[in-house]
């Protein structure tokens, strides 16, 4: 079971940080956590991934709990273009991704 749990929706204001949570309580020690996002009427795009330690790239930061049962995607300064559905996915190394319902992020101007 590659299930992750995310809130259905979140709302934030422009230029403020956004913390998107994800629970993956049954994760195994070798499963990576991947985040993708899907802008309206587009295909998903890769955001970030990590295993144990926190990760940063130009798009976002990923904070992984010490017990790895949860993680948080951090957008440091949200813009209107960050409005999208964000998917948290456990990658079990099978070269297949199982997308859940994700979190619909709304950014208010």
Which residue in 89, 87, 90 sits closest to 28, CA to CA?
A: 90
Q: Tell me the pairing of strands 18-23 and 9-13.
A: unpaired
Among positions 27-86, residues that touch other proteins (CB under 8 A) are 30-32, 34, 36, 41-46, 49, 51
Which span sits near other proteins by CB under 8 A: 15-23, 58-66, 73-81, 89-97? 89-97
Which span sits near other proteins by CB under 8 A: 9-17, 25-33, 55-63, 65-73? 25-33
Q: Could you give phi then psi for residue 27, rounded to 5 degrees?
A: -65, 145
CA distance 28 to 78: 31
Report the interface residues with other proteins, using CB under 8 A: 30-32, 34, 36, 41-46, 49, 51, 87, 91-93, 95-102
């Amino acid at each position: 079971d590659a299930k992750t749990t995310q809130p259905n929706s979140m709302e934030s204001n422009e230029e403020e940080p956004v913390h998107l949570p994800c629970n993956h309580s049954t994760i195994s020690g070798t499963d990576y956590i991947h985040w993708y996002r899907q802008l309206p009427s587009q295909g998903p795009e890769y955001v970030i991934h990590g295993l144990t330690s926190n990760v940063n790239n130009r798009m976002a930061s990923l904070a992984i709990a010490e017990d790895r049962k949860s993680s948080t995607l951090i957008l440091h300064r949200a813009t209107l273009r960050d409005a999208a559905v964000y998917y948290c996915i456990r990658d079990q190394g099978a070269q297949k991704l199982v997308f859940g319902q994700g979190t619909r992020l709304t950014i208010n101007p």
